[in-house]
Amino acid sequence: MLTGASRIHQSGFPLALIAVLVCSAFQFSSTARMVVLHATVVDRKGGFASGLKESDFSVSEDGVAQPIRLFEVEDAPVTVGLLVDNSGSMRRKRSDVSAAALVFMHKSNPADELFVINFNDRVVFGLPETKLFSANFQQLLLALSNATTGGKTSLNDAVLTGLEHLRKGSLNKKVLIVISDGGDNASKHTLKEVVAAAEKSDVTIYAVGLFDEDDTDRNPKVLNLLAKVTGGQAFYPPETPGVIAICERIAADIRHQYTIGYKPEHQEMDGKFRAIHVWVKAAGGTRYTVRTRSGYLASEEEPIQ
């Protein structure tokens, strides 16, 4: 359910445009499901486009125009999962990664709810079992510092665990931030399973790839794919300290999003992929780039666990 800032239209639900991160791709009314998107809009210089109106946006699903039913522009709090690679290949980068995560926390909305997953051969939650989320800086710092670096990488398992945990969050916007080299040599689950779970969710995934030139496990294609299907972004700083500025950028991206919702013409949950396209035609002919999820998997099945 969305916040009270939405405007109720005579045709039904409020209209909303969102740039994405992780949970269910659908919201349901008494009569039909609604697809909710989280969208980031930038100008030619990469600056965030503010002040756009509902009438500036258009949405299509599988090439068919969709009337917008929900539209919001606000800095809404977010449920965020920080997934930090602690495999042996990340050992030298660990201090910069922790610093970047702390910068992200400082730049976030104070009402955000966060959790930390540290992964190598195993996937481990940083917070105590009795605490699902936290906004307390000291608790999150401890969650980051508790990890032991070494071993292999179970990236797929970590992302699936993060997607599942996001479903327990109380906030409507959900995001995963994955900091890794993109390699996987220890997971029980496949990349195909991860992508399917991401496509069934409404989570936005941001990825930060940290590579060494001689890193045989590096796999930017995986990080690019996870970001693309969910409407996030993948970043590759040339130097590890650059991850700090990237985490600042991600925090700003999350806080400058539009939320859009529509009731699709095809309501069938047939397991097929529905392609989504969102674009902006603003007054004065200004050109904008819209980033949101590329579509969703119309399936009632539970995400893979």
Task: Give the pLDDT confidence of 122-167 residue by residue, as tens digits.
Answer: 999 999 999 999 999 899 989 998 888 899 999 999 999 999 999 9
Instruction: Give the mean model confidence (pLDDT) for residues 225-236.
Output: 95
Assess whether 229 and 273 both reside in one domain: no
Closest Cα to residue 275, out of 293, 257, 263?
Answer: 293
Structural domain includes residue 282? yes
Assess whether 203 and 168 both reside in one domain: yes
Domain residue limits at 274: 26-75+256-297
Mean pLDDT taken over the chain: 85
The pLDDT tens digits for 20-41 are 322 334 443 334 789 999 999 9
Structural domain includes residue 20? no
Assess whether 194 and 244 both reside in one domain: yes
pLDDT for 271 beyond 50:
yes
pLDDT of 301: 59
Assess whether 126 and 153 both reside in one domain: yes
What is the torsion angle, in degrees rounded to the nearest 10, for the CA atoms of residue 121, residue 155, residue 146 and residue 172? Answer: -150
pLDDT of 12: 36
Rounded CA separation 228/37 (Å) = 14
Structural domain includes residue 116? yes
pTM, two decimals, is 0.85
Assess whether 71 and 117 both reside in one domain: no
Rounded CA separation 103/89 (Å) = 23
Rounded CA separation 173/37 (Å) = 10
The pLDDT tens digits for 1-23 are 333 333 323 333 232 222 232 23
Rounded CA separation 173/126 (Å) = 21
Structural domain includes residue 99? yes
Assess whether 69 and 41 both reside in one domain: yes
Pairing of the two strands 68-73 and 78-85: unpaired
Query: For the ranges 160-169, 227-236, 284-293, which has the lowest average pLDDT?
Result: 284-293
The pLDDT tens digits for 79-135 are 999 999 998 888 888 888 888 888 898 888 889 999 999 999 999 999 999 999 999
Assess whether 121 and 153 both reside in one domain: yes
Structural domain includes residue 6? no
Assess whether 166 and 244 both reside in one domain: yes
Tokens of 202: 């409404």
DSSP structure string for 97-157: HHHHHHHHHHHS-TT-EEEEEEESSSEEESS-TT-S-B--HHHHHHHHHT----S---HHH
Report the CATH number that the domain containing residue 100 is assigned in CATH.
3.40.50.410
Report the CATH number that the domain containing residue 260 is assigned in CATH.
2.60.40
Domain count within the chain = 2
DSSP tag of 168: T
Structural domain includes residue 85? yes
